[in-house]
Structure 1
Amino acid sequence: MKAEHPSTRAARKSSLLRSVWYRTRTEARDDAEAGRSITMPTQTVTPPLQQVLRRLAMALLVLVVTTLIVYADRDGYRDGADDVVDLLDAAYYATVTLSTTGYGDITPVSDSARFVNILIITPLRVLFLIILVGTTLEVLTERTRQQVRIHRWRSRTQNHVVVIGYGTKGRHAVQTLVGQGIARDRIVVVDSQRKAANAAADDGLVSVTGDATRSETLLKAEVQRAGRVIVAPQRDDTATLVTLTARQLNRRATIVAAVREDENAPLLKQSGADTVITTSSSAGRLLGVSMVSPSVARTLEDLMTLGSGLDLVERPVTAEEVGKAPRACADVVVAVVRGKHLLDYTDPRLSELRAGDRVITVSRAVPAPKEG
């Protein structure tokens, strides 16, 4: 095998380094841009007023300590006005010294006073300045910390759930997902309103503020790597455009969309939605059932409310259930998902359960653990 020429190897190494540098720079720029619209889950922080009061107390403490040090060695200082350094003069000298104003009317003249200025007062001056610029330093630190969190989240997030719209439908969808065991850090909310995005962050969710009909907004939510997408905006036309955009960016994700009117459901299906929920007709049917049989309506509401009374859940068939009839299961089986087919409990093909089946059952709800 022919040995590689040193100049060729050096050129290849230089090209590789440039490529890594460009990629790192591009990722940093993307994270900085994403930081303007991505809101990470809210962390417990000290209130701003409390931070200011704490810094003010520290600054006053440094000022008092410096004043006492100067007053204790007042004989080593000279006042250009009357040659006498009292407590007020010591406080005045400490103030102008710590603020680096330094008028020069009071000066240390003795060796001990100058030695104390070198070893004690100068470090106190540096500490005092750090306290004064602490707010700016904290803002810069927080901004860097935020970009690091965003970069780490973007690099690790995949097969997550993207919820578009954090209104009533979106919030209840998130509550149901969390109740079914999906961790909050696996859910990303996209909303055009900053207030809604902040509310999602307060609820422990990553949120993106922006127009979900635009590709760049959905890309910030990493929709191209998502496993499921819930489309729940306020308008049907918005839902159609969002569904179309999400499907173009991700061909494999399961997309569930909500619309108000039945006539718009086929359009959502054509745009790429796997399942379309019509909110107005569903509410109308529930109203009709409530009028005829309030008990049936309450039961339906109970089944749709996770963690209350009875739950309607989908789960894989267990090894003990394989080969048995659906009626032999401990839970009430109402349907079975076999491959791509949904078989209700009356289907003749459901004489026995098979490995790989998923059963839809009615079971007693298990209360979700309280978040502490």
Structure 2
Amino acid sequence: MPQPRLSSALKRKSGLPLWLAIGWRVAGVMALLGIAIGVHWFDRAGLRDSYDGNVSFLDVIYFTMISITTTGYGDIAPVSERARMFDALVVTPIRIFVVLLFLGTAYNFVLKRTWEKWRMALIQRNLHDHIVVAGFGTTGSEAVDELIARGTRPRDIVVIENNAEALARAEALGCNVLQGDATRDATLEDVKLDRAASMIVAAGRDDTSILITLTARHLSANLPISVIVRAEDNELPARAAGATTVINPVSFAGLLLAGSSGNQHLTDYMMDLASVRGRISLTERQVHADEIGRPLSAITTGLGVRIYRDGNPYAFCDPECAALKAEDTIVEIVRRNGDKP
């Protein structure tokens, strides 16, 4: 059975206030009733009243209403061919349209909202260890594509975005989606940020991304948050806001360009490491119990290039990598199938 999605906010909210939207429907129904009453009144000679033989204006209103509601007591009936044809070809479609209009109104304003609230509550109960992506523009969508290519299930990804078209693309991938403002506490609480495994912030503007990060850190003190910023000056504010990882695509592109100058294969290798489509990839993991005390070069799962100990990075050539400790995090290069390169 396919996983349900957070789609209650996918549709863009109508600009009409609720009372006006209902008022337009009521006005439409009254207009249709007015047409039917008017025609019946002008053609009242084709109607017969079995009670007193006289068809008054109130009788016409009465007959029209019981005809539209399919009650049909039979005390007033069309007797002329013209009156019967009008009831058959005009009143019957009006009756169907009025019924559909009332049913549609009941669905839009009562049943649909109740159903979507129930679905959202069901999805929220099942959200655990998911990845929250704030922003589904070019960068956010590429991040989601890469996550899915790396094996993350789309149902374990929640996309927050204001643009309905972008959300439709995310939903087509199978992700949970929520239309809203990721800078607001209520929005992040709706996606159960406190139970998320990590968060990616790619709002498109540095100030918005930093504000989202600040809000997310306020709600979850230990959540890993990756943020993309486009100005180098905003890297420090992003970290101060609580970002675990700050990525500057401009700086990274500059590094690739500099590396490619006179070294044509370095950039290709870096792209191979970064993309899931390459033959090898960079991964990180905790030290295994049987690796404690051994050097980083002795691990068998991949090619160890760095460890993190007490928040500090150490390269494979540093003396700290001569003996691994239980709390170390290993960064290694592995083949796509998990074998050592």
- Same fold at TM > 0.5: yes
Partners of 2:199 and 2:177 lie apart in 1 by 14
Q: TM-score, normalised by structure 1?
A: 0.60
CA contact (8 A) 1:227 1:252 kept: no
Q: Of 193, 196, 208, which aligns to 2:166?
A: 196
1:286 matched to 2:256? The reply is yes
Aligned pairs for 1:170-185 (under 5 A) are 170-185=140-155
Q: Which residue of 2 aligns with 1:338?
A: 309
The one-letter code of the counterpart of 2:257 is L
For the residue of structure 1 that corresponds to 2:178, the secondary structure is: strand
The one-letter code of the counterpart of 2:264 is P
Q: Which residue of 1 aligns with 2:157?
A: 187
- Deviation per residue, 1:225-279 (Å, 9 max, x gap): 4332211111111112211222222222122111001111111111121221111
In the TM superposition, residue 152 of structure 1 has moved relative to its aligned partner by: 0.9
Q: Which residue of 2 aligns with 1:37?
A: 9
Partners of 2:259 and 2:251 lie apart in 1 by 12
- Percent identity at matched positions? 31
1:240 matched to 2:206? The reply is no
Q: Which residue of 2 aligns with 1:152?
A: 122
Partners of 2:220 and 2:292 lie apart in 1 by 35
Sort the Cα spacing of 1:208 and 1:185 in 2 relative to 1 into closer, same or farther, 3 A: same
In the TM superposition, residue 105 of structure 1 has moved relative to its aligned partner by: 7.9
1:305 matched to 2:297? The reply is no
Partners of 1:319 and 1:219 lie apart in 2 by 37
Q: Which residue of 2 aligns with 1:25?
A: none
Partners of 2:260 and 2:138 lie apart in 1 by 22
Q: Which residue of 1 aligns with 2:25?
A: none
Q: Of 259, 265, 276, which aligns to 1:295?
A: 265
Partners of 2:7 and 2:200 lie apart in 1 by 23
Sort the Cα spacing of 1:319 and 1:223 in 2 relative to 1 into closer, same or farther, 3 A: closer
In the TM superposition, residue 100 of structure 1 has moved relative to its aligned partner by: 4.4
Q: Which residue of 2 aligns with 1:326?
A: 296
For the residue of structure 1 that corresponds to 2:265, the secondary structure is: helix
Q: Which residue of 2 aligns with 1:231?
A: 201
Partners of 1:141 and 1:192 lie apart in 2 by 24
Q: Which residue of 2 aligns with 1:213?
A: 183
Partners of 1:241 and 1:364 lie apart in 2 by 38
CA contact (8 A) 1:261 1:279 kept: no
CA contact (8 A) 1:38 1:220 kept: no
Q: Which residue of 1 aligns with 2:27?
A: none
Structure 1: give runs of 5+ residues left out of the alignment.
1-33, 40-96, 107-128, 368-372
For the residue of structure 1 that corresponds to 2:235, the secondary structure is: helix
Q: TM-score, normalised by structure 2?
A: 0.65
Aligned pairs for 1:14-163 (under 5 A) are 36-37=8-9, 100=70, 136=104, 144-163=114-133
1:358 matched to 2:329? The reply is yes
Structure 2: give runs of 5+ residues left out of the alignment.
1-5, 12-66, 80-95
Partners of 1:329 and 1:221 lie apart in 2 by 38
